[in-house]
Amino acid sequence: MEMNGNTRVGQIAVEHPLATRVFGRHDIDYCCGGGVPLKDACASKNLETDDVLAEIRREVEGSQDSEGRWDRASLSDLIDHILTEYHDPLRPELAQLEEMMSKVVRVHGDKEPEMLPKLSTVFEGLKVELEEHMAKEEQILFPLIQSGRGAMADGPISVMEHEHEAAGAALRRLRELTHGYTVPENACNTWRALWHRLEELEAALHRHIHLENNILFPRALSS
């Protein structure tokens, strides 16, 4: 594929997985916002399209992406990958983040009396939503796709995409509240670790949602 400003962001991420590193650096939404042309995504971030294209080409040339070309894998293998790499680690990670969040709010709430409670509320909502979302995928949608009935899954897929958008909004709110995960000068080790792991959670969820929105769902519906 020859990339240009009219190429959809999600299509670039599918065919050149390493491009997601560039999108991540510039906060370009390639999962829920994958249907947007690159030129529009760049304009919304005050970026020059040609500069971003050049950065993507430098990232891609001569490199091997650990994510691989999942658009070429079987649907069953892709689902197994999503379960193993994203669903299974996410549940214990959410539980640990919840514990860390509780500790930071309890010990340091007086230092950030407005931000920390708001952050905790947004995270708790995201945690519950993600846990319920994964259960629905594992119990309903994924078995439907694996049984060869993906073309009949337009209803469940529509629900999952809507929930992905809600998760994306929560992630944006977490980033906003933490000022881009800028660690406060008076932060203890737990506070610093919490910021770091929330940022890692954001990156992992972007990759996770991208695999579903831009690869799994379209292929399942056309199967």
Dihedral sign, CA of 101, 103, 105, 108? negative
Q: What is the pLDDT of residues 153-201, one digit of tens each?
A: 999 999 999 999 999 999 999 999 999 999 988 889 999 999 999 999 9
How does residue 63 score in pLDDT terms, banded at 50, 70 and 90?
low
User: Average per-residue pLDDT in the chain?
Assistant: 94
SS (H, E, C) the chain: CCCCCCCEHHHHHHHCCCHHHHHHHCCCCCCCCCCCEHHHHHHHCCCCHHHHHHHHHHHHCCCCCCCCCHHHCCHHHHHHHHHHHHHHHHHHHHHHHHHHHHHHHHHHCCCCCCHHHHHHHHHHHHHHHHHHHHHHHHHHHHHHHHCCCHHHCHHHHHHHHHHHHHHHHHHHHHHHHCCCCCCCCCCCHHHHHHHHHHHHHHHHHHHHHHHHHHHHHHHHHHC
Which H helix or E strand runs over 33? none
User: Could you tell me which of 14, 15, 47, 1 has the C-alpha nearest to residue 28?
Assistant: 47
pLDDT at 24 > cutoff 70: yes
Percent of the chain scored above 90 by pLDDT?
88
- For residue 66, pLDDT over 60 is answered with no
pLDDT for the residue numbered 50: 97
Give the mean model confidence (pLDDT) for residues 2-25. 93
pLDDT tens digits, 92-150: 999 999 999 999 999 998 999 999 999 999 999 999 999 999 999 999 999 999 999 99
Report the 3 state secondary structure along 93-113.
HHHHHHHHHHHHHHHHCCCCC
Q: Which residues contact 17 (CB under 8 A, 6 or more apart)?
A: 65, 67, 68, 69, 70
Q: What residues does each domain of the chain span?
A: 9-60, 73-222
Please give the model's pTM, rounded to 2 decimal places. 0.89
Q: Would the pLDDT of 203 be above 60?
A: yes
Return the H-helix or E-strand segment holding 189. Answer: helix 189-210
Question: Which pLDDT band, with edges at 50, 70 and 90, does 67 fall under?
Answer: low
pLDDT at 28 over 90: yes
* pLDDT recorded at residue 60: 86
Cα torsion 32, 133, 100, 83: sign? negative
User: With 60 as the cut, is the pLDDT of residue 65 above it?
Assistant: no
The pair phi, psi for residue 37, each rounded to 5°, is -60, 145
Per-residue pLDDT, 61: 83
